Structure 1
Amino acid sequence: MPKSREVVLKHRIETKPVPTHFEIVERIVPDHPGDGKLLVRILYLTFDPYLGQAIRGQHMGEPHPDAGEPLPGYCVAEVVASGDSRFAKGDHVVGQAGWGEFGMMDAAGARKVDPSLGLAVHLGLLGTPGLTAWAGVTQLARVSQGDVFTIDAAAGAVGGTAGQLAKILGARAVGIAGGPEKCAQARDVYGFDDCIDYRQPDWIKALTAATGGGPSVHFENVGASVLLPVLSSLRIYGRVVLCGLAEHYHADGPRPTMPIGTIIGKRAHMLGLVVYDFFPRLAEWVAFATPHIKAGRLVELRDVSEGIDTAPQQFDRLLQGNNLGKTLVRVDPSAIN
């Protein structure tokens, strides 16, 4: 029987993951999956910021991985053998199967995808990041013609998609990102009207100027260091989507507080976003997004490393904020697009 290399934890961790917490092991690939399971060959593995919390056992009640257990994280894969009549050998699926070359996927949590659109796109634009952006922009904030939309982590998978959606819906989109390279990406790749570098002094003044007095909608992905200054410039009756708190996921010390007086004074609407609520509507998002992708109105930049051996370093690159675009590992060298 063939063997599969897989990345696992050396030991259970309680702190921010770093590459030395991981090791590569070899597992025997079974001949056949059990009932309700899919044996899959993993093509692309995706990393998103929430995984840092998930690996520490601090994400939405999900299990705390132990040493040697399959790690959480979505992949796009090819079915090698099926224990479910809904799936056949050769089908392409998205689901969770660990960080490895082969894995076992629960058929109940797998979804079949169309490879003609590409493979990696089902982990980004047509996956959880795209769904997150769509839910926040269209279902919660209800962005429309004339809105002024801001979003931090604008060069990331959620941020870049959300800004493009805001533009499609007739809004002015102004990104917030760290450094000139990421700001250029937001403008030149994703088509933002402007992007402000929060590492620059007086960046909030630049943001207020770029938004003509402040945003009517703000989409938060980072945390208090960006959110609190933006709230000060938010327009009256502005809407704020609270999606991610990346800077707080691994922080020690007291939790951030919210300026209740400012929120009342702005008459602001604060909207919490948990993407899992929208998983039953993924097909709706895919149907909306597909023609825009084909027409070039929705694009994504990918930060791809090659081979399962690179997974710990690629994950660390994401957690350090050094990625440019959707963070992926091409596990199988034959996988394209």
Structure 2
Amino acid sequence: MKLITTKTTIDHKPTADDFIAIDVPTPNCPENGALVRVVHLSLDPYVGSIIRNRHMGHTAPVPMKEAISGAIVGQVLESKVSGISAGDWVHSMEGGWQEIIAIDAQHLRKIDPSIAPLSAHAGVLGMPGLTGWAGITQLAKVGEGDTVLVDAAAGPVGGTVGQIARIKGAKRVVGIAGGAEKCALVENTYGFDKCVDYKADGWRDALGEALPEGLSVFFENVSADMAMIALGHANLYARGVLCGLVDAYHTTTQSQHAMNIGFVIGKRAQLSGLVVYDYYDRWNNYVAEAAPWIRDGKLKFVEDRVEGLDNAPVLFERLMNGKNLGKAVVTVSAENV
């Protein structure tokens, strides 16, 4: 069996050359768990922090021994878990960059492969989708008449945020993304009213033009600096969801993430920190609500997919440099065998 690990300890933005595929024995089925064939592997920005041992609650994998962390969608080969049998499909956040994995029962979530394309469970129905749903429906509680701003809007979280906001009644949804291609995706596929290209000259003026009446909700994925820019367009009593710090994931230095608290007070803003772990117990509720949206074409998703575990490092380097377009997914093995 093959897995991908790091060659050595990493203290920089990971590149494809930092990884290596090694052969290891196939694991045994755990006493209270299952042996799973990995079919789809999710690549996510936060893994860059885990690899550099800078992610709260996760430790870096041991070089030349342990697989890189990653959520997986797979098929059960053997099970010692009540309610899960060989042939069933499962999702787990405690997966990894490997072909076969032993997973304890507490980290397994049985899924229905008939409700959406199987790979969707790695993205729009997986952790990125749950994150967007939690922020919009559980924290910001977006409803009729809201104007919503989200940055990193071309990503799987940001794209889901804007679409769910629209479904929940937002009157205007504006995104921020980097480059014309990503902005086209945000507007033409995800259906945002406007996407502002932060790489273009005069983008801050363009953002103001895109928000002529200000905003009532913003969803922050990038940095404290971007949150302050959003607050500059916020109406009184705006709600902000602080979800991610992608800029920090991609840098080699620690950031203090300073914010102007006086500005927050002046806006009477309500800021909520979002950690998706808090909503794992509502995952099935989210899937039950979102699957019909996907079926009806209200919730769309785009994948940047590669075939074969060996290609995971190249796709991950692309993700680390913001070159991916859509959810980064590695198809490790065939869905039907």
Instruction: Tell me if 1:69 matches 2:66.
Output: yes
The residue that corresponds to 1:98 in the other structure is 96
The alpha-carbon deviation at position 134 of structure 1 amounts to: 0.7
4+ residue runs of structure 1 moved beyond 3 angstroms?
none
The residue that corresponds to 1:60 in the other structure is 56
Identity of paired residues, percent?
A: 46
Choose 125-134 or 100-109, whichever is displaced more.
100-109
Distance in structure 2 (CA, Å) of the matches to 1:16 and 1:206: 31
CA RMSD of aligned residues (A): 1.5
Instruction: Tell me if 1:175 matches 2:175.
Output: yes
The alpha-carbon deviation at position 14 of structure 1 amounts to: 3.0
Distance in structure 2 (CA, Å) of the matches to 1:254 and 1:168: 35
The residue that corresponds to 1:78 in the other structure is 75
Which residue identity lines up with residue 216 of structure 1 in the other structure?
A: S
What SS class does the counterpart of residue 319 from structure 2 fall into?
A: helix
Matches within 5 A, 1:123-162: 123-162=122-161
Which residue identity lines up with residue 244 of structure 2 in the other structure?
A: G
Structure 1 counterpart of 2:3, from 6, 10, 13? 6
Which residue identity lines up with residue 10 of structure 1 in the other structure?
A: K
Distance in structure 2 (CA, Å) of the matches to 1:284 and 1:10: 40
The alpha-carbon deviation at position 238 of structure 1 amounts to: 1.0
Distance in structure 2 (CA, Å) of the matches to 1:77 and 1:113: 10
Which residue identity lines up with residue 186 of structure 1 in the other structure?
A: V
The alpha-carbon deviation at position 253 of structure 1 amounts to: 5.1
Structure 2 unmatched runs, 5+? none
Instruction: Tell me if 1:87 matches 2:84.
Output: yes
Distance in structure 2 (CA, Å) of the matches to 1:176 and 1:250: 18
Choose 262-271 or 179-188, whichever is displaced more.
262-271
Distance in structure 1 (CA, Å) of the matches to 2:57 and 2:26: 30
The alpha-carbon deviation at position 254 of structure 1 amounts to: 4.3
Distance in structure 2 (CA, Å) of the matches to 1:170 and 1:206: 24
Q: Return the TM-score normalized by structure 2.
A: 0.94
Residue deviations 1:12-40 (CA, integer Å, cap 9, x gap): 3233222222100012224x413013211
Q: Return the TM-score normalized by structure 1.
A: 0.94
The alpha-carbon deviation at position 55 of structure 1 amounts to: 1.7
Distance in structure 2 (CA, Å) of the matches to 1:71 and 1:92: 22
Structure 1 unmatched runs, 5+? none
Distance in structure 2 (CA, Å) of the matches to 1:142 and 1:119: 29
**Number of matched residues?**
331
Distance in structure 2 (CA, Å) of the matches to 1:58 and 1:9: 16
What SS class does the counterpart of residue 270 from structure 1 fall into?
A: strand
The residue that corresponds to 2:112 in the other structure is 114
Instruction: Tell me if 1:28 matches 2:59.
Output: no
CA contact (8 A) 1:45 1:331 kept: yes
Which residue identity lines up with residue 77 of structure 2 in the other structure?
A: V
Matches within 5 A, 1:193-232: 193-232=193-232
Instruction: Tell me if 1:43 matches 2:39.
Output: yes
What SS class does the counterpart of residue 24 from structure 2 fall into?
A: strand
Distance in structure 1 (CA, Å) of the matches to 2:104 and 2:44: 21
The residue that corresponds to 2:281 in the other structure is 280
What SS class does the counterpart of residue 212 from structure 2 fall into?
A: coil
The residue that corresponds to 2:323 in the other structure is 322
Distance in structure 2 (CA, Å) of the matches to 1:29 and 1:253: 38
CA contact (8 A) 2:225 2:259 kept: no
CA contact (8 A) 1:41 1:80 kept: yes
Q: 1:138 to 1:34 in 2, by over 3 A?
A: closer
